[in-house]
Amino acid sequence: MAEQVVKFYNGNTYPILGLGTWQIKTTEANETVKYAIDVGYRHIDCASIFGNEYEVGLGIAAKIKEGVIKREDIFVTGKLWNTHHQPNLVEFGLKKTLQLINLEYLDLYLMHSPMGFQPGDIAFPKRRDGSIIEDGIDYIDTYRAMEGLVEKGLVKNIGISNFNCQQVERLLSNCTIKPVTNQIECHPYLIEKELSDFCNSKGILITAYCPLCKPGFSANEPNLLEDPKIIAVATKYKKTPAQVVLRYQTQRGHLVIPKSVTESRIQENFNIFDFELSPEDMNTINGMNSNTRVYVIFELCTDTTIHHCLHNRMSNIRKIHLHCLPHPIALNQLVDIPLKDLAGHHYNYMVHRINHGYICLCNCICSLQLNVSKTLLDKFFHKDF
């Protein structure tokens, strides 16, 4: 039987497989959590922005009351939302979660993203033009406030989510308590090898969200569970495609948090520890990587911001065609520099998507995809500024 827990750098253990609760309706969350606990799940992944913390808490409380589990048997992850990035709001954000989920502490608390939004009751505060209103808070300051939560005993571990390599490295140079995990989108179409290797080299484990690649979400998007290569591996081991994909993550040492509200699939996703993929099959799945991201988390940057960034960062290599540049050199001009717009506003996030299709970057540095239109090439590489 394969090991079902991982050990963080600080010695704390955590179940490697958890129940993801994103997009679980409030009408389903209570029963889903209760059933998952009955099946054997001891790791529940939650977030303030999911909007179902109260119902998740009801499910946990019911199973504690029934004697199925004790509080120390269940590991609950929460996430600080972007509107609580100001240091004086970090503890408030956590306590709001603790109140909703009816717990005295969390086992793991993550910064949901390095991006901070304007504080308030609106989850995605926007200007009239539709752009997000940022708060200008450096994620370093936010994280330092999270460190205080550990010191107060309100959380056992802290971590991050949706951070790229450069952001992780900068954080490690400015923190006292190292994050135990970086939760990112990760599946066979987006294996994030460089980011995973980088984080592991720093003692930070990867938690894979969206491990099944959004099956059946859209007819226009790839269905990982119907991929012939996955089906072939599943047939070989007499397992389902979902079980193979989840086992792939755990064999990489990644925590994994599949979401389901269907009892049969909750059970199916849990039964992944009685077989082991061969090195050859692991390599086959690794070879499926296409840097395909199914969740574009935020579209925040304006053309003005990016134009200013390009003017500042590409002036030293103007007239040079982008395709003549090694990708890391070109990308490092654009990613987490930090960005500033013409008004001098500081941006902590990296570029995701620019209006009008000028350029598109994925969330993590290791999987950046640069799609440069003729407009961008003409504007920034073939003309003087």
Q: Which secondary-structure segment (H or E) carries 266?
A: helix 263-270
In a domain, 70, yes or no: yes
Domain that holds residue 164: 5-287
Q: What is the predicted pLDDT for the residue at 332?
A: 35
Written as six digits, the tokens of 331 are 């990308």
Neighbours of 137 (CB within 10 A): 21
Q: What residue has token string 């082991």?
A: 276
Q: What is the predicted pLDDT for the residue at 240?
A: 98
Buried b (16+ CB within 10 A) or exposed e, 224-251: bbebebbeebbeebebbbbbbbbbbbbb
In a domain, 316, yes or no: no
In a domain, 172, yes or no: yes
Q: What is the pLDDT along the chain (385 residues), one digit of tens a residue?
A: 455 999 999 999 999 999 999 999 999 999 999 999 999 999 999 999 999 999 999 999 999 999 999 999 999 999 999 999 999 999 999 999 999 999 999 999 999 998 889 999 999 898 887 777 888 789 999 999 999 999 999 999 999 999 888 889 999 999 999 999 999 999 999 999 999 999 999 999 999 999 998 755 555 667 899 999 999 999 999 999 999 999 999 999 999 999 999 999 999 999 999 999 999 999 999 999 988 877 765 444 444 444 444 444 444 444 444 344 333 323 333 433 333 333 344 333 333 333 323 333 333 233 233 333 334 444 444 433 2
Q: What is the predicted pLDDT for the residue at 377?
A: 42
Selection from 78, 72, 41 nearest residue 57 by Cα: 78
Q: What is the predicted pLDDT for the residue at 216?
A: 52
- Residue 208 gets the label, from left (phi > 0), alpha (psi -120 to 50) or beta, of beta
Q: What is the predicted pLDDT for the residue at 378?
A: 45
In a domain, 340, yes or no: no
In a domain, 23, yes or no: yes
Q: Which secondary-structure segment (H or E) carries 95?
A: helix 87-101
> What does DSSP assign to residue 350?
P
In a domain, 49, yes or no: yes
Q: Strand 346-347 relative to strand 339-340: parallel, antiparallel, unpaired?
A: antiparallel
In a domain, 192, yes or no: yes
Q: What is the predicted pLDDT for the residue at 293?
A: 78
Q: What is the predicted pLDDT for the residue at 218?
A: 55
* 2/240 Cα distance (integer angstroms): 18
**305-363 pLDDT, tens digit each:** 444 444 444 444 444 443 443 333 233 334 333 333 333 443 333 333 333 233 333 33
Q: What is the predicted pLDDT for the residue at 369?
A: 32
Q: What is the predicted pLDDT for the residue at 352?
A: 36
Q: What is the predicted pLDDT for the residue at 105?
A: 99
* 130/302 Cα distance (integer angstroms): 10
The total of structural domains in the chain comes to 1
Q: What is the predicted pLDDT for the residue at 380?
A: 43
Give the Cα-Cα-Cα angle 105, 81, 86 (nearest 5 degrees): 95
**139-178 pLDDT, tens digit each:** 999 999 999 999 999 999 999 999 888 889 999 999 999 9
Q: What is the predicted pLDDT for the residue at 343?
A: 39
Domain holding 245: CATH number?
3.20.20.100
Looking at beta carbons, which pairs linking 2-6 to residues 24 or more positions away fall under 8 Å?
A: 2/250, 2/273, 2/274, 2/276, 4/273, 6/205, 6/253, 6/255
Give the length of the chain: 385
In a domain, 305, yes or no: no
